[in-house]
Amino acid sequence: MKLEFHGHDERYTVEQSLLNLFPGELPVYEPIRPMEETNWAVVSWREDEKRGRACVELCWQGKSVAYSRGVPLEGRTPYEREGRRRYAIGAAFFLAYQSLTGNTPPWGMLTGVRPDKLVTEALTAGKTPGAARELLEKIYYVTPRRAALALETGTAAFKAAKSLGPRDIAVYIGVPFCPTRCAYCSFVSQSVEKSFSLVDPYVDALAAEIEAGGRMARETGLRVRAMYMGGGTPTTLTAPQLDRVLAAFETAFGPALDACGEITVEAGRPDTITAEKLAVLKAHGVHRISVNPQTMEENVLRAIGRRHSPGDIEAAMGLAANCGFPHVNMDLIAGLPEDTAEGFRRSLDRCLEFGTNNVTVHTLALKKGSRILLEGLTIPGPEAVGEMLDHAEPALRAAGYAPYYLYRQKYMSGSFENIGWTRPGGECLYNIYIMSELCSILSFGAGGSTKMVDPSRRLIQRRFNPKYPKEYTERPEKARSNQADFAAFYAR
């Protein structure tokens, strides 16, 4: 879509709105010829001391409309004025879209990853739950159903934040290997068959990084409240390799783990789960595992490149049940290739029969580099995905689950969301911490993204480990310098 700006250069705001409302449309910055062209937008901004006004003239498939949104600016700091300008431009673009197409996207004009953060912020500022919900519905045009969901998850984050101290952190340990690559994946995860020789050196490097990080955490006086081992698929490692990593974690952090009430390991691919590996996890006090079938439909498993059958998932769940983990999560994805609303319903119903206390329902996100895009696989349309989610919410609520964290990604089918559902007391705090950016996350492993968070200063800084296992193994100095920055962040 051709874009023309007058009186501002809010490219990011307009491009995010474009992506949200017109998936697949790319911004083009060339002069518009309104009489000859069918898809374009002119976005203007005018302001004086007291007020600002955004005007959007939007033309889509030859039909056009103009919409404007004013905001008060009097007495605002330059930073606040900037925020209001962005809001007004986003709102005018959204309202023009809505008036032109008659569509109301589930999350209204919100384009970000964490729509419920607005609720958490409002509650923290002393607003009532009703006012927080009204903010979503009236100011950001979120549909009542999504606003209600965000109120529940934003409230869970508000409560989790209250129990965190200024030196409380979470730890992430990444294992970027998987048995095969799923069709929807763009993660740097390597198929273990192709990269077998990298695994042992990777485990050595990871254990060494954890040892140094644990020392740093103890010396800095940090307390680990939750640890999450993800990937990739951590259970791609052998039982002795898992033992080595978990032992390194326990030894290195030692007393910094006294307040750690949660250790989670993703045992994502059922074909990597064995009784021996689960026994190792249990012996190290792992509280929670996540088994991620994504679907229970045989044809869908094949279409996404999984090598296991629904029977393997059942066997893995049987092994997990024998070990008696306090919490087990299952992940499902709505919108996978070959799936239907009926198939998704069967998958969810089957997961509920397992009696796990956590179910995470994702919506398919189309990621660059995924096989779905590269090979042009057929996926269910937004209506079918909407039907899947329409089934999921009441079915989960009827079975005693409530939503406790949610997030959105770019290019999601139908512009919906991912939601973690739990039975009472089964919340995975790590998921809340990371999604709501409540505390720092110290990350270990290739592709690790360390986040330093100071909620009192609304300050967030990031450091990244080398992306690929080989590079990570060969360049330990980068991870070490990230740890030094982490310590320095807490020395201020």
Residues lying near ligand SF4 in the complex (CB under 6 A) are found at 178, 181-182, 185, 187, 189, 231-233, 268-269
Smaller CB distance to ligand SF4: residue 233 or 347?
233
CA–CA dist 93, 167 (Å, integer): 42
- The candidate with the shortest Cα–Cα distance to 433, out of 150, 153, 157, 123, is 157
**Whose Cβ is closer to ligand SF4: residue 14's or residue 320's?**
320
Q: Which is nearer to ligand SF4, 312 or 393 (CB)?
A: 312
Name residue, tokens 């088994």. Answer: 291
- Strand order of the β-sheet with 449-454 is 402-407, 418-422, 358-363, 327-334, 288-294, 263-266, 223-231, 168-175, 440-444, 449-454, 459-464
CB of 475 to ligand SF4, least distance (A): 22
Q: Which residue's CB is nearer to ligand SF4, number 90 or number 268?
A: 268
Q: Which is nearer to ligand SF4, 108 or 231 (CB)?
A: 231
Shortest Å, Cβ 179 to ligand SF4? 8
Q: How far apart are CA 321 and CA 361, in angstroms?
A: 21
Burial 93-111, CB ≥16 within 10 A → b, else e: bbbbbbebbeeebbbbbbb
Mention every residue, 6+ apart, whose C-beta is less than 8 A from residue 111.
16, 17, 19, 20, 90
How many Å apart are CA 303 and CA 144, to the nearest integer? 35
Q: How far is the CB of 290 from ligand SF4 (least distance, A)?
A: 11
**Nearer residue to ligand SF4 within complex by CB, 153 or 189:** 189
Q: Residue 399 and residue 60: Cα distance in Å, rounded?
A: 44
Distance CA 53, CA 73 (A): 10
Cα–Cα nearest to 140, from 79, 102, 217, 87:
87
* Shortest spacing between CB 239 and ligand SF4, in angstroms: 19
CB of 466 to ligand SF4, least distance (A): 18
The span from the CA of 157 to the CA of 150, in Å, is 10
Nearer residue to ligand SF4 within complex by CB, 156 or 178: 178
Shortest Å distance, C-beta 230 to ligand SF4: 9
